[in-house]
Amino acid sequence: MPPLSSSPSSLTSKLRRLDLDGAVVGVRFLGASAAFALGEGEVVLVGEGETRLAAHKGAVLSVAGDDRRLLTGGDDGRVVATLADGTMQALFEQKGRWIDQVAAGPDGAVAFSAGKTAHFQPGKGERKSHDFPSTVGGLAFAPKGTRLAVAHYGGVSLWFPNAQAKPEFLEWKGSHRGVMWSPDTRFVVTTMQEAALHGWRLADGGHMRMSGYPSRVTSMAFTAGGKFLATSGSSEAILWPFASKEGPMGKQPTMLAPRDVRVSAVAAHPRDEVIACGYEDGLVLMVRISDGAEILLRSPDAAPVTALAWRGDGGALAIGTESGAAGLVVF
Amino acid sequence: MADMASAKIPVTVLTGYLGAGKTTLLNRILSEPHGKKFAVVVNEFGEIGIDNDLVVGADEEVFEMNNGCICCTVRGDLIRIIDGLLRRKNDFDGIIIETTGLADPAPVAQTFFVDETVGAKTMLDAVVTVADAKWLKDRLKDAPEAKNQIAFADVILLNKTDLVSETDLKDVEMRIRAINPFARIHRTQRSEIAIDKVLGQGAFDLDRIQAIDPDFLEGGHRHFHDEDMRSYSFASDKPLDADKFFPWIQELTQTEGPNILRSKGILAFKDDPDRFVFQGVHMILDGDHQRPWRADEAKTSRIVFIGRQLDAAALEKGFLSCVA
């Protein structure tokens, strides 16, 4: 990526506008194509052309994925993997249930949940299931893929699906929704029903309470190398410092790209210390963390940005909004 | 603002003690030829038979919020279900939530005020309680859930009226009034009622708070003083001081919130041409300027609490101390 300081402050001319005709609930790059999951059950693959696929007979409730596949969980009880060539595979189906959460693990592994039950399906081998104390609010694979963080009411359970032992329980009062591991697996962080994050330092069980948001945090991402956790929920991007062993406690977060509109989605560049930051009015900025330099990628159009994803090499960004107006920026 | 409110999906909460006729009412709403489609959240599948509507099972997970508000509970499963339903919001016109016979309506109602996404996209329309005309008086004695459901209701179907005498009906209506002076009471048999008396009530819409009828307020609890749950109402013809009223009501709901199920008020503040209306569910208060007082209307401030074990004398003293 060229140095931002010599770039113009707007790259909106590079935005390829897409009208997807449905609220975007998640997006991932599958190689060079962007795969947009729409609320009403479709997946749209956007490469040189556009391919619409009917992934679910109902709503898409959750989206995950990696460079190879887009995973969607639906209210039709199915977990579907969509590949870049348009191949679709139903990995699981349970009629009458909703698949609330999905997560992608290494080597083709998948985790998903329906109500209180979480399932782990390895790339090869037998599916494992476990019932948690309450509905699963979030699921995340540890980077090696052998352990899952499962967020629920009252805390997070760390589950080794292939071990007999009971999951380790990290307790913190309240309802935990999203969950994420730091790339070095030293920390687990949740988004809460309240306008706050909670984190645990796994080495000693230390608690990290990250609050002060005006609204609930719905999007978070670790920046390249895990130095910062970038979050939505405020009228600027809030980045908590995670570079040290202690984590962010006692330190001030970095605040970038302040506006009078709240940040609704963030995505971290895979290589550089740069984030993409989408707002509730549809505006998208690219922001360099070191000096806060901003480049406008998309002008506002009233619908909130609901999904952002960088291509694996960082050379493109996919943008989805609640109205279905979407875009691709290739740098 | 009216446009924004109407764009929100209306949510009706159906409560009622076991066997009162709640499922019969639900089936009636769904089978009437009204041309509307509903997403229905139920606790048990099987009892309702509908083809067109979206039926979702609930788990009744009651979550406490971490906001220092002890009575502030929400239904975690409803937040999840409504988030999911909103993904296919073009498929239905309204949401109906059926609670179990033993459920407390408060966490259900509070979900619509506490969760930001749910509150932004949906609007609680009314809590509708089906009560058994023959057995309600007994249940009010022995089942706190039944009392909560009556206290919380915006609409009450006094059902199975064919099983009791007119005298008994009047008696049970007076008991309902003693607990809940706001609710619209409809006498029904086999839960038969026009759908527009149940849906589209706008009971939590501040714009639709018209009057708090003093007859109901005075009549009820004088005759049937329910020790445990009742309504408390106070009025003043002198304008109030906003700088005194707001700290008082906030302090009151913070300390007595667990005992105050619902509250409602129409207030005249000094040097303010507008009616100020508010309503509350436990500690959660929602208030706004509504419209200018009309020349032909008495500028009376009136406030009502439905609650249990409240100190009436202290409430009255507190309210009257807000006079400017």
Residue B269 clears pLDDT 90, i.e. is over it = yes
Residue A35 clears pLDDT 80, i.e. is over it = yes
Query: Residue B216 — very low, low, confident or very high, per pLDDT cuts 50/70/90?
Result: low
In chain B, whose CA is at the least distance from the CA of A198?
A: B66
Query: Could you give the 3-state DSSP secondary structure of residue A184?
Result: coil
Give the nearest partner residue to B76 out of A60, A98, A153, using CB atoms.
A153
Going along chain B from its start, the domains and CATH numbers come out as 2-205 (3.40.50.300), 223-320 (3.30.1220.10)
Q: Chain B closest CA to A14's CA: distance in Å? A: 30
Residue B69 clears pLDDT 70, i.e. is over it = no
**Where residue A233 sits, what CATH number does that domain have?**
2.130.10.10
Q: In the predicted model, what is the mean pLDDT of chain A?
A: 94
Q: Is B84 in contact with B95 (CB distance < 8 Å)?
A: no
The tokens for B197 are 């008396």
Domain limits for position A319 = 1-44+219-331
What pLDDT is attached to residue B155? 96
The arithmetic mean of pLDDT across residues A159-165, rounded, is 92
| Residues of chain B contacting residue A59, judged by C-beta atoms under 8 Å apart | 84-85, 87-88
Query: How many contacts (CB atoms, under 8 Å) link A and B?
Result: 64
Residue A170 clears pLDDT 50, i.e. is over it = yes
**CA-CA distances (angstroms) from residue A331 to A74, A300, B65?**
33, 20, 44
In a domain, A185, yes or no: no
pTM of whole model > 0.90?
Answer: no
In a domain, A186, yes or no: no
Cα–chain center distance at B243: 28
B4: buried, middle or exposed (CB in 10 Å: 19+, 13-18, 0-12)? exposed
In a domain, A141, yes or no: no
Contact B77 A135 (CB under 8 A): yes
Residue A135 clears pLDDT 90, i.e. is over it = yes
Q: Is A331 in contact with A313 (CB distance < 8 Å)?
A: no
In a domain, A183, yes or no: no
Give the nearest partner residue to A194 out of B45, B66, B90, using CB atoms.
B66
Q: Which residue has the higher pLDDT, A268 or B101?
A: A268
Q: Chain B closest CA to A218's CA: distance in Å? A: 10
In a domain, A83, yes or no: no
In a domain, A304, yes or no: yes
In a domain, A30, yes or no: yes
Does A175 contact B at CB distance below 8 Å?
A: yes
- Cα–Cα distance between B139 and B149 in angstroms, integer? 11
Query: Residue B182 — very low, low, confident or very high, per pLDDT cuts 50/70/90?
Result: confident
Residue B220 clears pLDDT 50, i.e. is over it = no
Total structural domains in chain A? 1
Q: Give the tens place of pLDDT for each residue, B284-298.
A: 899 999 999 999 989
| Residues of chain B contacting residue A152, judged by C-beta atoms under 8 Å apart | none
Contact B59 A115 (CB under 8 A): yes
What pLDDT is attached to residue B68? 63
Element counts in chain B: helices (H) and strands (E)? 11, 14
- Cα–Cα distance between B166 and B21 in angstroms, integer? 20
Query: Residue A115 — very low, low, confident or very high, per pLDDT cuts 50/70/90?
Result: very high
In a domain, A137, yes or no: no
